[in-house]
Amino acid sequence: MSALLPVGTVYPGRFDGRVVTVTGAAQGIGLVVASRIAAEGGSVILVDRSELVHEVAKELREKGFQAHSVTADLETFAGAQSAIDEARQQHGRIDVLVNNVGGTIWAKPYEHYTPEQIQAEVQRSLFPTLWTCRAVLPYLIEQRSGTIVNVSSVATRGVNRVPYAAAKGGVNAITAALALEAAPYGIRVVATAPGGTDAPARRVARGPAAQSEQEKGWYQQIVDQTVDSSLLKRYGTLDEQAAAITFLASEEASYITGTVLPVAGGDLG
C-alpha cells in the first residue's frame, strides 16, 4: 500500500492550523485530497468504510504528516454522526469537511435498473453528503466558521446513470440551499463536479464489474460520451480533481460559496 502523494504543485503552509475531514479517503480522489492537504500543513481526518483507510493514515503519519483515520458507514446518519464526532474530538474543531463519498454502482439504461438498484445508487451517492452535512453543521455553527466542499459530478447530464445523476443533482441542490442557510454563521458551502477521471484500479470495488458484452457496451457508451462532452477530449487526473477541491477548501476561496465548479475539461454537466 502506498498513499498517493500529490505530483502537482503543492503549496506548503496553505492549510497550517486547519483541521480537515475527508470522506471516502481510502482511495481515489479522496486519498489524493487528504494527502495534498496533509502535505500543505493540515491535520487530516480520513473517513471511509474500508479498513484500508487506516493503512493510508499510517503511511501519512510515517511521512511526518498529521493524520487520523475513522471507519464508518456514511450511508446511515448514525455512521455519519459517529464519524464527525470522532473527527471533532481529535482536535476540538473541524475547519473543513470534504464530502467525497459516492460513485456509480451500475452502468446501464434506466429501464434496466431494478427498484432496489435505484435505491442503492441514491443511498450511495446522495445520503452520505446529506448525513455528514447535518452531522457537522451544529459544530460549524458553534464555531461560527467552516467550509463544506461537496464532490458532485457532471454526470447529471450523462448516459446510462440516471439514478446516480439524480443523486448528484441532489448534491448540487444541497450545496446551493445550505450555502444560503449557513452564510450568516460564516460558513461556506461549495462543490466541484468532476468529469471522467483516470485512476488506479480500485482496491474496493463500488459494484459488480460489467460481465456481458451488453454491459461492457453500456459502460463504453459512458466513456465515449464523457470524452466527447469534454472540450479537451480526455479524462482528467486525480491531481487535477484534488487541485480544485483543495482550492475551494482553502482560504484563497473565502469569497466563494453556493457554487458548483465543473472540473471536466469544459463539460459543464
Task: Render pLDDT for 181-196 as a digit per residue (tens, 0 to 9).
Answer: 999 999 999 999 999 9
Cell of 255: 469569497
Q: What local confidence, expressed as pLDDT, does residue 24 receive?
A: 98
Q: Which of 150, 226, 228 is nearest to 189 (CA)?
A: 150
Cα(252)–Cα(229) distance, integer angstroms: 29
Confidence of residue 4 (pLDDT cuts 50, 70, 90): low
Specify the pTM: 0.95
Q: Which of 196, 16, 24 is nearest to 99 (CA)?
A: 24
Q: What local confidence, expressed as pLDDT, does residue 8 receive?
A: 65
Which DSSP helix (H) or strand (E) runs through 36?
helix 28-39
User: What backbone phi and psi angles, to 5 degrees, belong to 241?
Assistant: -70, -45
Cβ atoms 147, 188 nearer than 8 A:
yes
Cβ atoms 179, 253 nearer than 8 A:
no
106-131 burial, b at 16+ Cβ within 10 Å, e below that, comes to bbbeeeebeeeebebbbebbbbbbbb
Task: Render pLDDT for 96-117 as a digit per residue (tens, 0 to 9).
Answer: 999 999 999 999 999 999 999 9
Confidence of residue 208 (pLDDT cuts 50, 70, 90): confident
Look at residue 29 and give its three-state secondary structure: helix
Task: Render pLDDT for 234-252 as a digit per residue (tens, 0 to 9).
Answer: 999 999 999 999 999 999 9
Cβ atoms 185, 204 nearer than 8 A:
no
Q: What local confidence, expressed as pLDDT, does residue 92 receive?
A: 97
Q: What is the mean pLDDT of the chain?
A: 95
Confidence of residue 253 (pLDDT cuts 50, 70, 90): very high
Section 39-51 average pLDDT: 97
Using CA atoms in the order 214, 217, 219, 223, what is the torsion angle rounded to 10 degrees? Answer: -170
Instruction: For residue 106, give Cα distances in angstroms to 110, 112, 146, 152, 222.
Output: 10, 10, 34, 17, 11
**Domains defined along the chain, listed by start:** 19-263 (3.40.50.720)
Look at residue 187 and give its three-state secondary structure: strand
Residue 230 pLDDT exceeds 50: yes
Q: Which residues are catalytically annotated?
A: 164
Q: What local confidence, expressed as pLDDT, does residue 1 receive?
A: 41
Task: Render pLDDT for 145-193 as a digit per residue (tens, 0 to 9).
Answer: 999 999 999 999 999 999 999 999 999 999 999 999 999 999 999 999 9
Q: What local confidence, expressed as pLDDT, does residue 131 receive?
A: 98
